[in-house]
Amino acid sequence: MNLLPVIFLRLLPFMTIKTSCNATLVHVAKVMRIAVMTGVLFLISCCTPGTKRAENETVKQISTACHHAKMFGLEKNTDCAVLAFTDQSGEEILVALSHDGRVPSGTAEYEYVIKTPVERVVCLSGTYIAFISAIGKMQSIVGVDKKSRIYSSELRNMIDNGDVAECGNEQNLDIEKIIELAPDVVFAWWIDPASEEKMESLKKAGIPVIAVLDYLEQTPLGKAEWIRFFGAFYGCDSIAAGIFSKVETEYMHLVEKASSLVRKPYVLINLSWQDAWYLPGDSTFSVNFLRDAGAVPAWKTDNPNEIVPYDAEYVFSKWAGADFWINPGSAVSLNEMKQVSRFSAEFEAFKNGKVFNNNLKVNTDGANDYWETGTVYPDRVLRDLISIFHPELLPNHQCEFYRKLE
């Protein structure tokens, strides 16, 4: 089995980390800009200057500051919301979400003014589908990239029934089909210039394209908080906030439970490919997940914010004694790991049967629910990890996403 695509997808958050760092700086400025815009939000009702409010009517300001997400900001009142985020180049983007679709008054420059709630959307990532499903708006999805990338059985049935169209991946996007679908918005992520040109074509056709950079978040809760981003497009702010609040509460409860332990096992992640073993830095998403689960990364890198490629033999010489080994590509057995890397069988975790992979829920096309449901509900992933590293804490837990490799 070719594990390279899976390994590559898992490395995306780290391969783009320089963009993330730059974008975070822009994020600080953009959040400040939203704060300045608060005064504007008190005055506007997302209406044209000719529309007046009653003298005793006020616009209620709602506090919506993000608790963990760093890649977007949200400010709203009862009539209008303003999303601030960065695109992949690090440029600041402001999007106004209004109930009547009119341009808010004031001096802010908006990339788009979108009428809410949106009713027709195209999603070019399975992760977005999971967020939208969680807030109960699955029926709004009219287009996706490819069925083979999607785990959700409900969405796959919608495709089979002709209710949802396949629009192709980023490099082979069917622009004409998306235009024909007439979506209110396209939720997308893209990497190379060729796919970016296609997104620009959609913008020229009058279709808003929103870059969702949730994959640049460096904590599980930061990524999960993007449910509030999607909730704003549907006018489901309180629903989205409620879901995230429950996730956050449960997640932090589990973190507290794991942090009380004195002994924390050393854990190795990923798998070498063609003798290159990529390991993330100390401040990255995967490492933060390990720490929250009461574990310690077995390796050390020089740069805390970037992924570092190592020679597989070097990894073996330095960190072969790790207590556990998780996320080895798409492997479903120890024998498969040996076929990929000649060093696999020499690691202590391999010898002791302590290798686990997050591919318990994978369909026949290879789509993995870890990247869908697991993104929205990281508390459930954390429960799996704690039960693996510290089974005494959760003795009756049955893993939802992880399997032990035999």
User: What's the one-letter identity of residue 322?
Assistant: A
Sheet strands side by side (includes 296-297):
296-297, 266-269, 324-326, 355-357, 403-404
pLDDT of residue 75: 87
Domain with residues 117-212, CATH architecture: 3-Layer(aba) Sandwich (3.40)
Start and end residues for every CATH 3.40.50.1980 domain found in the chain: 117-212, 261-404
Does 170 score more than 80 pLDDT? no
CATH H-level superfamily of 261-404? Nitrogenase molybdenum iron protein domain (3.40.50.1980)
**Percentage of the chain with pLDDT > 70?**
81
- What pLDDT digit, counting tens, does each position of 282-304 carry? 999 999 999 999 999 999 888 88
- What pLDDT digit, counting tens, does each position of 17-36 carry? 333 333 333 343 444 344 33
Eight-class DSSP state of 171: T
Q: Give me the mean pLDDT over the 268-283 stretch.
A: 91
Distance, in Å, from the CA atom of 224 to the CA atom of 228, rounded to the nearest integer, reads 9
pLDDT of residue 197: 78
Q: Which positions ≥6 away from 364 have C-beta within 8 Å?
A: none
Distance, in Å, from the CA atom of 173 to the CA atom of 207, rounded to the nearest integer, reads 14
pTM, full prediction: 0.85
Q: Quick one: which H or E segment has residue 106?
A: none
| Cα–Cα separations (whole angstroms), residue 393 to 42, 93, 174, 400 | 49, 44, 49, 16
Average pLDDT across the chain, whole number: 84
Does 56 score more than 80 pLDDT? no
In the structure encoding, which two tokens stand for residue 349, read together? 């975790």
Radius of gyration of the chain (CA): 22
267: Cα within 13 Å, side-chain hemisphere: 30
pLDDT of residue 346: 94
Does 152 score more than 70 pLDDT? yes
Q: Give me the mean pLDDT over the 142-146 stretch.
A: 96
Q: Is 252 exposed, middle or buried (0-12, 13-18, 19+ CB in 10 A)?
A: middle
pLDDT of residue 85: 85
Distance, in Å, from the CA atom of 111 to the CA atom of 185, rounded to the nearest integer, reads 13
Greatest mean pLDDT among 48-52, 188-192, 313-317 = 313-317
User: What's the one-letter identity of residue 306?
Assistant: E
| Cα–Cα separations (whole angstroms), residue 52 to 86, 108, 221 | 33, 20, 41
- In this structure, the strands spanning 92-98 and 165-166 are unpaired
- What pLDDT digit, counting tens, does each position of 360-403 carry? 999 999 999 999 999 999 999 999 999 999 999 999 999 999 99
pLDDT of residue 286: 95
Per-residue confidence at 191, pLDDT binned at 50, 70, 90?
low
Of the candidate ranges 41-45, 89-93, 260-264, 398-402, the one whose mean pLDDT is the lowest: 41-45
pLDDT of residue 78: 62
The answer to whether 321 touches 345, Cβ cutoff 8 Å, is no
Residue with the bigger pLDDT between 180 and 99: it is: 180
Instruction: Give the count of beta carbons closer than 10 Å to the beta carbon of residue 6.
Output: 22
